[in-house]
């Protein structure tokens, strides 16, 4: 399915040579590293980095910086009992610096290697802040709306049968604790996982926002990506699905939001980092139903990736040397990438505005048009994220999700519509979001840093998650 890092200690995705650089943050993190090595206070440098990343809309990177800031007093301490915190902090700071310089927003949010550093930092924070915890989805899906997801099965008798079968298959998986040992044990465990996957597939219903549809796709992606029961995230996923089965049997109509977020983040992780192949089309389409996108990749070898990285670095150096850059506030972008983005954005925003105006006319309601509008929003979001415009990317992806919900609402069967919990966002909300994007893009075209639109994003998020008032 995808390419993954050979070592868990390395960063995951390829660098983004045409991506924008938040140079104030890069310099501040470099200065913080110098201060760390000289056992000096790093507060000012980390605060500077956090402010710059927040201004750029690099939410996941800002959160990582916040964690570094909280641990920095322990790391700067000369006390022997703080030595573990110092070691954790140093490793995290170096990894974060390397990732920032790669300018890949998806890596900053979805890198398993980077998150392992974030989680290690959080263990030290938790020692001084009871109840403090972080999850992968908190970083990967930061700021993104998540639609309500249903728990619906055909009939109670069939559900009871599948739940009993699922629990029976789950038992050897959990007992293994990731250690399959002998070939005989491995055969039993892998057969049990096959049955778990079959149960999830049989539970899947017709609703595009059916939890079992999402869970079944996640299970297939985990296994095809080489994440078998030895992976703790895989075992935890199967165990949490069993709890969801119990919830459904009790008549609870919606999947827990935390479970939806964790399942969605697991499904997106490798696709966000490495892209998707032709055989992943169904998964890519499902991700779009949830406001997430993935690039298409061409499989290669580790050697070819290293050559690509070297070429990317050379191209970036040349662009900086000949002055082929533009400044958008704290963001420095490649001039050619900037011009390409403006062309993509111009076409996308024109289509979004037209679709939003037509959406208010019931006689012109067209699911295919809604899908086209969603695709236009996703093109804009992907292009903005690639350039480093985090605020635009986040709002455009949320608008793409809103349009996908409109598209599905227009083609749902009566049986599905009978179970709709939240209606699709209305035309007024769609138009307001398109206009906010247009205003942000005008700023970019004028060479000015775009202002974020928190009120518009909040309104769009409410419409997606709770419905328009």
Q: HSE-up of 364 (CA within 13 Å, CB side)?
A: 11
407-414 contact pairs (CB < 8 A, 24+): 407/367, 407/368, 407/370, 407/371, 407/374, 408/208, 408/209, 408/289, 408/367, 410/365, 410/366, 410/367, 410/370, 411/367, 412/207, 412/208, 413/206
Q: Domains (ranges, CATH) in the chain?
A: 21-140 (no CATH), 156-289 (no CATH), 325-465 (1.20.120)
Q: What is the pLDDT of residues 289-329, one digit of tens each?
A: 999 999 887 544 455 455 555 655 665 565 555 568 999 99
Please give the backbone phi and psi of residue 230, each rounded to the nearest 5 degrees, phi first: -65, -20
pLDDT at residue number 152: 82
Tokens of residue 436, six digits: 């906010």
Question: What is the predicted pLDDT for the residue at 189?
Answer: 82
Q: What is the pLDDT of residue 288?
A: 97
* Residue 31 near residue 326 (C-beta atoms within 8 A): no
The confidence score (pLDDT) of residue 390 equals 96
Q: How far is CA 195 from the centre of its chain?
A: 29
Distance CA 391, CA 277 (A): 28
CA distance 30 to 93: 9
CA–chain centroid gap for 181, Å, is 34
State the pairing for strand pair 21-22/331-334: antiparallel
**Please, which residues bridge with residue 210 across strands?**
150
Q: For position 75, what pLDDT does the model report?
A: 92
**H-run or E-run covering 331:** strand 331-334
Which residues, other chains included, contact 168 with Cβ-Cβ below 8 Å and sequence gap of 6+?
Answer: none
Residues of the chain below pLDDT 50 = 1-10, 299-301, 304
15's torsion region: left (phi>0), alpha (psi -120 to 50) or beta?
beta
Instruction: Report d(CA 42, CA 30) in Å as an integer.
Output: 11
Q: Please tell me whether residue 118 adopts helix, strand or coil conformation.
A: helix
Strand order, beta sheet including 21-22: 21-22, 331-334, 325-328
């Amino acid at each position: 399915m995808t390419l993954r890092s050979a070592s868990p200690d390395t960063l995951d995705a390829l660098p983004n040579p045409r991506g924008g650089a938040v140079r104030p943050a890069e310099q501040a993190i470099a200065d913080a590293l110098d201060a760390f090595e000289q056992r000096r206070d790093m507060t000012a440098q980390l605060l500077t980095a956090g402010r710059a990343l927040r201004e750029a809309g690099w939410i996941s990177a800002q959160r990582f910086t916040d964690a570094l800031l909280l641990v920095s007093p322990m790391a700067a301490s000369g006390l022997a009992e703080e030595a573990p915190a110092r070691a954790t902090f140093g490793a995290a700071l170096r990894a974060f610096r390397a990732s920032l310089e790669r300018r890949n927003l998806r890596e900053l949010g979805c890198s398993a290697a980077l998150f392992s550093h974030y989680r290690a930092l959080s263990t030290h924070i938790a020692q001084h802040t009871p109840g403090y915890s972080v999850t992968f989805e908190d970083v990967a899906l930061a700021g993104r709306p998540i639609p309500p997801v249903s728990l619906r099965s055909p009939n109670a008798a069939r559900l009871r049968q599948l739940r009993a079968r699922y629990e029976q298959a789950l038992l050897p998986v959990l007992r293994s604790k990731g250690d399959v040992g002998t070939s005989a044990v491995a055969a039993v465990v892998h057969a049990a996982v096959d049955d778990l996957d079959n149960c999830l597939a049989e539970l899947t219903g017709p609703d595009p926002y059916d939890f079992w549809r999402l869970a079944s796709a996640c299970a297939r992606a985990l296994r095809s990506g080489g994440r078998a029961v030895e992976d703790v995230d895989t075992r935890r996923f199967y165990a949490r699905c069993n709890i969801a089965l119990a919830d459904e049997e009790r008549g609870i109509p919606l999947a827990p939001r935390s479970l939806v977020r964790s399942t969605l983040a697991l499904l997106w992780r490798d696709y966000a980092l490495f892209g998707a192949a032709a055989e992943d089309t169904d998964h890519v389409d499902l991700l779009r139903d949830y406001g997430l996108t993935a690039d298409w990749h061409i499989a290669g070898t580790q050697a070819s990736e290293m050559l690509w990285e070297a070429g990317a670095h050379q191209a970036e150096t040349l662009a900086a040397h000949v002055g082929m850059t533009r400044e958008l506030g704290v963001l420095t972008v490649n001039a050619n990438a900037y011009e390409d983005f403006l062309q993509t954005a111009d076409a996308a925003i024109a289509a979004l505005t037209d679709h939003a105006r037509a959406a208010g006319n019931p006689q012109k309601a067209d699911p295919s048009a809604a899908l086209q509008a969603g695709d236009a929003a996703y093109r804009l979001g992907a292009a903005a994220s690639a350039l480093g415009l985090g605020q635009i990317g986040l709002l455009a992806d949320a608008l793409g999700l809103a349009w996908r919900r409109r598209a599905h609402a227009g083609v749902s069967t009566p049986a599905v519509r009978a179970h709709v919990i939240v209606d699709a966002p209305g035309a007024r909300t769609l138009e307001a979001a398109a206009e906010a994007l247009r205003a942000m893009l005008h700023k970019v075209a004028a060479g000015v840093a775009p202002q974020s639109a928190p009120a518009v994003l909040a309104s769009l998020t409410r419409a997606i998650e709770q419905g328009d008032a």
